[in-house]
Amino acid sequence: MYLITGGARSGKSSHAERLVSASERVLYIATSKILDPEMAERIAHHRASRPAHWRTVEQYRGWSSLIGPHNDPQEAVLLECITTLVTNIMYDAAGNTPEEEWDFAIMEHEVNQQIDELIAACAACPAPVFLVTNEVGMGIVPENRLARHFRDIAGRVNQRLAAQAEAVWLVVSGIGVKIK
């Protein structure tokens, strides 16, 4: 498992795509959901920009069905993005509960279950697996409760993934620096 992290628009996706380009075949796992017209546009742009021969699956849970010992070792896996996955799982856990009543401990538990499954799936996979995530802890402390909890949960997830990763890249201004 390889982790690529960086800030928004840092070039981390391009860096990850360069890393997987050594593989003739790629399974691209997109974790975004279409929630509004702007997100629909972004997703359409990403779909159009990926090489046509890449196999794409849009999913943000249920990792053992996508990643594991059944994967072809010649087909690299690129999962984008962990922080979007975290967001989706947090919102799933919240359900229809009003935001002021959200239980962030339950949300983090749900996130950690999926991350445990993802780590296990990556460990069992004979193909190289590249995970893209956002580094969310380099700015000021967010002023609202949801953003603070998201930053904390995503930061802990990134630490867990980095600890398990064979290599970690930090991308800044389009330049990837291998930090592990």
Question: Nearest to residue 130, comparing CAs of 171, 172, 88?
Answer: 171
Question: Cα separation of 95 and 139, whole Å?
Answer: 29
Q: Phi and psi for 12 in degrees, rounded to 5?
A: -65, -35
Active site residue 109: no
Residues in CB range of 173: below 8 A, 6 or more apart: 10, 11
Q: Which of 46, 53, 109, 149 is catalytic?
A: 46
Widest distance between CA atoms in the chain: 48
Which residue do the tokens 């970690």 mark?
168
Check residue 169 and report its DSSP letter: E
Query: Catalytic residue positions?
Result: 46
